[in-house]
């Protein structure tokens, strides 16, 4: 079945960087957009942007431009979200989600990766 | 990039029907039939419940239905059950090849 499995929780200090992975299985990785979504207690779900694994083309939401980088490794069907210059505001759960067949919604979702930033 | 507006909370008794609204603008909900809804239980990933305004993914109960009028989309849950108690988020495609989520609604079953 189609599945997205994310890397485990991370604890980082302010100013550090973190790279979250999202491994896809059960479908052709290069056929579907892969999206990233952030969830914080105070702000609910926020759309961060997406990558098309075939071309590597990315489209970042305005709020996240310049502070996140989305990449992929097609040889291992894995997408990555890198966050740099971390602050406490980056403490959140990060989800990857695939485009649904036909596009314009997100299905399925990964299980989420908790990133905690604390000195 | 302002979020879509949802009520913070909605409640209903077992067996009743409730409706959650999701208000956007002519740049998102009003211009595209690409509204989706997600259910999220505590500690779990969001689960797709509705896509393209009113379509249910395979396996989702027909007690869940979606609609849209102008800049506002709605999710209706009929025959409310205990397991429906969760947070619900709407989402819409928006001008500029991006997406936007709603502020989220906590559903309480009385």
pLDDT for residue A43 is more than 90:
no
**Over residues B11-25, mean pLDDT:** 98
How confident is the model at residue A102, as a pLDDT?
83
pLDDT for residue B53 is more than 90:
yes
pLDDT for residue A9 is more than 70:
yes
A52 in contact with B, Cβ within 8 Å: no
CB < 8 Å from B in window 19-38 of A: 35, 37
pLDDT for residue A103 is more than 90:
no
Picking from B27, B101, B106 by the largest number of A CB atoms within 10 A of its own CB, the best residue to mutate is B101
Percent of chain B residues topping a pLDDT of 90? 96
Residue-wise pLDDT tens digits, B19-39 = 999 999 999 999 999 999 999
> Beta A34-40 vs B9-12: how paired, if at all?
unpaired
DSSP string, chain A: --EEEEPPPEEE-TT--EEEEEEEESS-GGGS-EEEEEEETTTEEEEEEEE-TTT--EEE-GGGTTTEEEEEEGGGTEEEEEE-S--GGG-EEEEEEEEPTTSSSEEEE---EEEEE--
Confidence tier at B1 by pLDDT (50, 70, 90): low
pLDDT for residue B70 is more than 90:
yes
pLDDT for residue A42 is more than 90:
no
Residue A62 phi, psi (nearest 5): -55, -40
Residue-wise pLDDT tens digits, A47-75 = 999 999 999 999 999 999 999 999 999 99
A41 in contact with B, Cβ within 8 Å: no
* Mean pLDDT (chain B, rounded): 97
User: Is A106's CB within 8 Å of B98's CB?
Assistant: no
């Amino acid at each position: 079945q189609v599945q997205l499995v994310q890397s485990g929780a991370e604890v980082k200090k302010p100013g550090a960087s973190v790279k979250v992975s999202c491994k896809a299985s059960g479908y052709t990785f290069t056929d579907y957009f892969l999206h990233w979504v952030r969830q914080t207690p105070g702000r609910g779900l926020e759309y961060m942007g997406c990558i098309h694994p075939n071309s590597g083309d990315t489209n970042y939401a305005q709020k996240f431009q310049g502070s996140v980088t989305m990449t992929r490794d097609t040889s291992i069907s894995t997408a990555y979200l890198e966050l740099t210059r971390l602050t406490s505001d980056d403490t959140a759960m990060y989800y990857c989600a695939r485009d649904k067949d036909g596009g314009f919604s997100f299905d399925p979702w990964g299980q989420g990766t908790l990133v905690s930033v604390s000195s | 990039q302002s979020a879509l507006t949802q009520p913070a909370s909605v409640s209903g008794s077992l067996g009743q029907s409730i409706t959650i609204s999701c208000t956007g603008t002519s740049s998102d909900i009003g211009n595209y039939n690409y509204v989706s809804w997600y259910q999220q239980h505590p500690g779990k990933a969001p689960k797709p419940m509705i896509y393209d305004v009113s379509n249910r993914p395979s396996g989702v109960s027909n007690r869940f239905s979606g609609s849209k009028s102008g800049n506002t989309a709605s999710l209706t849950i009929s025959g409310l059950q205990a397991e429906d108690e969760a947070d619900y988020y709407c989402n819409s495609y928006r001008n500029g090849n991006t997406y936007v989520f709603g502020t989220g609604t906590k559903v309480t079953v009385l």
